[in-house]
Amino acid sequence: MKTASRASSGVRARCERTQWRIAALGGVMLVVVMSLTACMMGPDYRRPEAQIPEGFKEGVDWQRADANPQAAIDSTWWRMYGDDKLNDLVDQALRANQSIAAAEAAYRLALATVEANRAGLFPTVTAGLSGARSGGNVAALSASRGSGASTSTSAAGGAGNSVVALGAVSWELDLWGQIRRQIEEAKANAQASDAQLAGERISIAASVATDYFQLRQADYDIRALKEQLDAYGRILAIVQTAYAQGGASNDDVLVAQEDLETVIADLQTTEINREHDEHALAVLAGVPPESFSIPPDPDYHFMAPAVPTSLPSQLLERRYDVVSAERTAAAANASIGVAEAAFFPTLTLSAEGGFAHSSLAHLFTVPYRFWTLGPDLAQTIFDGGARTAAVHQARATYDEDVANYRNTVLTAFQSVEDSLSSMNHLRAQESAFARVLDSNARLFASEEAQFNAGAVSQQNVLNQRLTLIQAQQSLRDTQALLAQNHVLLVKNLGGGWQRDDAEAASPASGSAGRPVAQQSTSAAD
């Protein structure tokens, strides 16, 4: 009889295992079938249309005849100025600037959001082991817990043990594409964050170069003003001597004093500007201003080399703010699908199994095994219009982001046109001041020759020297402005950042370790 009982138990166990396998296989087949037939709610994304001109209005005069509009600006564009000090400052700022650090942290946060949303496509598996010793009505306690644990107690009010090993799997199927739309939205937001990080880097590099050129302009202006201060001081001494001898009026003395004091005031303003530029460079480089200094270089040579001007249509891929605005619109488009999917039921497949016994030593045996398997279908019947409002909100956000994108595109064209216009006129201004300087140099040489011959006074020579110094200063200031506007033009053209190039250069090994803006998404493609 015992042998027959053992045989019967073995058959029953095999039958139970077979039933489990059939149920599991049926569940897998159900998941596969429903996944193949699953759809995605919401509109598929298409880049919003924007009015794109064929060329730049102000670019014709500035570009050279052999300019290549298809060429891209080098990503280390600041090195084209040939200044090692500037290169070191930009490199230091890109490493230590706190605005870049904050933007980089925001980008990593966006990457983490993508991974968190992607995890929703996979089942959740949990496991646990619990043990308890209890007394009284243990059967009622076990029933209330739903554990099916087997306990051992004494007849009346005794104490017993219960041990439960439990494993569970839960999987919410993405039937309507809600999770996939969330992933799409997160990817687009991460791409926008990547573009913002690139924009922060370009802005910091441009700020360093601009402040540096302003500082070098102040270096020359300080020297020029000190030279004027010397000339005006000598003129004042000459006028005072003439006044004492009756050869000049008191008005002449007052005018000479006013000219001298004006130069002194201008010198203080210029020195303030230089100190402020130096402080700004220190902060951009991530160091306190107290421990940062740049030696003066009044003979600094400003450069504004040729820049390949891209076509207007290429700004859509080379301007970080345009890319960020477009990716924001893509994220808003995906959020419409997330909101619309909330109207449909959710299907969750769950399975639970384990062992329950009063003793840990006999826990993992077939007779004390339990399991459950089944789907859970849930649908919101009434929510007072909350889902409808969410869809309206998502569509309104998308329309707002599209409008912002189109305005960003127009603003990008305006900034490039402004930079090209400034370059055109500054080039002409530089040429004019160069001719003025040449004329004044010859006039000063003539005045010196006449003074040596005794034909003119020393005051005439000093006045002509002042005119020559001012002509030199006007030319150098124009060259400094040309260099600063050159930096602005590079920044407005995208600063060497290009989304297409970044995507082509991105590694193929996994998505978690590379910038999301360098990954292609189905919505964007």
Distance CA 437, CA 449 (A): 18
Q: Is 171 helix (H, G, I), strand (E, B) or coil?
A: strand
Contact 41, 176 (CB under 8 A): yes
Q: How far apart are CA 523 and CA 48, in angstroms?
A: 12
pLDDT tens for 141-180 read 555 555 444 444 444 455 677 788 888 999 988 889 889 9
Cβ atoms within 10 Å, residue 89: 23
pLDDT confidence bin for 71, thresholds 50/70/90: low
Q: List the one residue out of 356, 394, 383, 459 whose CA is nearest residue 130.
A: 356
CA 308 to chain centroid: 24
pLDDT digit string, tens, across residues 292-334: 999 999 999 999 888 877 778 888 888 899 999 999 999 999 9
pLDDT digits (tens, 9 = 90+) for 390-403: 999 999 999 999 99
In 3D space, the residue among 240, 426, 330 whose CA is nearest the CA of residue 48 turns out to be: 330
Share of the chain above pLDDT 90, in %: 57
Q: Give every CB contact of residue 113 below 8 A, 6+ residues apart in sequence.
A: 186, 189, 190
Helix (H, G, I), strand (E, B), or coil: what is residue 287? coil
Of all residues in the chain, what percent are helix, strand and coil, respectively (each to 5)? 65, 10, 25
Average pLDDT score, the chain = 83
If one counts every other C-beta atom within 10 angstroms of the C-beta of residue 321, the result is: 21
Residue 445, pLDDT score: 96
Pairwise CA distance, residues 25 & 32, whole Å: 11
Q: Which residue has the tokens 């859509």?
A: 316
The yes-or-no verdict on residue 444 having pLDDT over 90 is: yes
The strand ranges marked E within 118-206 are: 124-135, 159-173
Cβ neighbours of 71 (radius 10 Å):
11
Pick among 1.20.1600.10, 1.10.1760.20, 1.10.150.130, 3.20.20.390: CATH of 41-58+81-303+310-506: 1.20.1600.10
Indicate whether 484 pLDDT > 50. Answer: yes
> 403 in helix, strand or coil?
helix
Q: Please, which contacts does 103-110 make with residues 24 or more away whose CB atoms are closer than 8 Å?
A: 103/193, 103/196, 103/197, 103/200, 103/201, 104/197, 106/193, 106/196, 106/197, 107/190, 107/193, 107/194, 107/196, 107/197, 107/515, 109/193, 110/186, 110/189, 110/190, 110/192, 110/193, 110/194, 110/516
Measure the CA–CA gap between 20 and 434, rounded to whole angstroms: 92
For the stretch 179-213, pLDDT in tens is 999 999 999 999 999 999 999 999 999 999 999 99
Q: What is the mean pLDDT of residues 409-432?
A: 93
Q: What are phi and psi of 148, to 5 degrees?
A: 65, 20
- Contact yes or no for 195/323 (Cβ under 8 A): yes
